[in-house]
Structure 1
Amino acid sequence: MPEPTGVIHDIGYQRYTGPRLGRRHVFGALYLHGVRTTFGLGRSAKAKIFPWLVVGIVLLVAAAVTAIRSQIGEVIMTYAQFADAMSWLVIFFVAVAAPELVSRDMRSGVLPLYFSRPLPHADYPLAKLLALVTALFLLLGAPQLLMFLGGAFTADGMGAVWDELLDLLPGLLYAGLWAVVFASVGLLVASMTGKRAFAAGGIVAVFLMTTPIVGILSVLPSQAANQLAGIASPPTLVQGVGLWTMRDLLITESNTADLDLGAFGPVYALAAAALVAGCVALLLARYKKVAAR
């Protein structure tokens, strides 16, 4: 009779008997990890340099605007104008943060591990998208809160503080619009490749290389083409929605509009909604395909 060739050793492994958390906890963990990733938290010091440099710049600008206002007693930049002024920094922040959120997982091959658990294919991209939207909103909204505090402390009476708050709320909504549009476009582009450098370059190209198209359309003989030119680029599309909904807060004596919307303000709003919806739909389709592999 042949002798046994294998032996089973008991090395102390035991079955997990603790609570088994469900889909909501998995989604929450992905979301919180995503927010931390965008700011480099829990990662190396090198990964923290760029995001916190951007944070420092926007806070420094907000502090400077607040200090100048307290000295001269006049508003030199509204809350909504602040979001417009910082939009170029948001582009580069997205170009760095979005690949960190999705391209790294794709390149390292850990997506099958995520989808081997009872995790619907839509939850992964939606959690990453919500994390990027949150990070961008904090990037634009936190400095506005700093500006509000400075304005509130120098305001003359509670009525003035209330007026300041009414100016802040549209600015925060406008920051949310920037965050949703930029996060949707940026994450979709980043999800197409596992190479972070390619993803970052693609994101910058989408945002910046569409700007010349706006310039070409704006000089055509057709007035309708001129007024619809801003739809061709995500930054000018967002600015168009802002001009239509809060023109008085974006255009002041010291600031004029680069876009002439004419009667096409609602078209800009519909185009922005269609852009976000299309990006989210393509993002979900992308990860449905990945989960099916």
Structure 2
Amino acid sequence: MSEPTGVIHDIGYQRYTGPRLGRRHVFGALYLHGLRTAFGLGRSAKAKIFPWLVVGIVTMVAAGATAVRSQIGEVVMTYAQFADSMSWLVIFFAAVAAPELVSRDLRSGVLPLYFSRPLPRGDYALAKLLALVSALWLLLGAPQLVMFLGAAFTTGDGMRGVWNELLDLLPGLLYAGLWAVVFASVGLLVASLTGKRAFAAGGIVAVFLMTTPIVGTLSILPSRTVNELAGLGSPSTIVQGVGIWSLGDLLVSEDQGGPDIGGFGPVYALAAVLLVAGCVALLLLRYRKVAAR
């Protein structure tokens, strides 16, 4: 019987003896990484071009509105109106950021690593969703803060004027949060369906662009009820309907006008809740199936 010839070599590997931070810290790390990814931080210069171009544009618009207000002494754009005006830029930002958050992982096949303990499958999807919501809210909220600071320093009513300006800012930030939640929910769900970023980006833009003609068609039908409910045909107009119902004059001025929702404001609010809840549920289901492969 021959002697065994195998030899075990000690090459210096050691067991990890440090603290195991657990599920909450993994979730937080994944969220922070997703938020950085949305703005291209920690990636190549090419990945930073589009997100920071959008950031620059929305900041310039806010600064311009603030400068005009300081010169003429009148509000040219409320905080809520700013969110509405920048909605198309937010769509394109979401179309670029959402595939970066999830499509790359699908394509590279790293999901089995993420889904190993202590990170459950649902935590991955929720961390990515929260990161995109935060990025979109910052995209709309930070310029509103610029507008607020400009107005606060130029108000002629002292602290009372600053307080009144703050009361106008807070609803605007909440409205920006509604835009962020709806756009992120829809965008991330679409992006999770494919590992190809170009297809995901095109699909996200298509969802918003293709639903707009539906609203336009329904809004010109002879039925007034159908006209008032036409906004339910698109995620963008659902958000606008909720804003018109809840914010009123802060969003719609006499000379500007806006979509006519009649007395269906609560219906639009319910539609927004159902849209977000449905997208989140489908997103969680999607990753449950991906992990099972």
TM-score (norm 1): 0.98
- Residue equivalent to 1:116: 116
Distance in 1, matches of 2:5 and 2:283, equals 51
Aligned pairs (5 A) from 1:117-156: 117-156=117-156
User: Deviations for 1:175-194, whole angstroms, at most 9, x for unmatched residues?
Assistant: 00000000000000000000
CA distance, structure 2, for counterparts of residue 216 and residue 74 of structure 1 = 36
Letter in 1 for 2:186: V
Residue identity (%):
82
1:203 aligns with 2:193: no
Partner of 2:220: 219
Looking at structure 1, the residues matched to 5 and 13 of structure 2 have their Cα atoms a distance apart, in angstroms, of 23
Alignment of 1:40-51 (within 5 A): 40-51=40-51
Question: What is the match of residue 270 of structure 1?
Answer: 270
Letter in structure 1 aligned against 2:263: A
Aligned counterparts, 1:27-46, within 5 A: 27-46=27-46
What residue is the counterpart of 1:103 in the other structure?
Answer: 103
**1:232 and 2:233 matched:** yes
Alignment RMSD, CA only?
0.8
How big is each residue's C-alpha offset from its partner over 1:36-72, in whole Å with a ceiling of 9 and x where there is no partner?
0000000000000000000000000000000111111
Structure 2, unpaired ranges of 5+: none
Corresponding residue of 1:84: 84
Cα deviation code 1:148-184 (max 9, x no counterpart): 0000001121111110000000000000000000000
Tell me the alpha carbon deviations over residues 235-264 of structure 1, each in whole angstroms, 9 at most, x when there is no partner: 11100000000111112244211x110111
Deviation at 1:283, TM superposition (A): 0.4
What TM-score results when the alignment is normalised by the length of structure 2?
A: 0.98
Partner of 2:171: 170
For residue 222 of structure 1, report the CA deviation from its aligned partner: 1.4
How far apart in 2 are the matches of 1:29 and 1:170? 30
Q: Which amino acid in the other structure matches residue 210 of structure 1?
A: T
Deviation at 1:21, TM superposition (A): 1.0
The residue type paired with residue 35 of structure 1 is L
Deviating 4+ runs (over 4 angstroms): none
Q: Is 2:190 the partner of 1:189? A: yes
Whole-angstrom distance in 2 between the partners of 1:253 and 1:34: 41
What letter is aligned with 1:22? G
For residues 23 and 254 of structure 1, what CA distance do their matches in structure 2 show?
A: 52
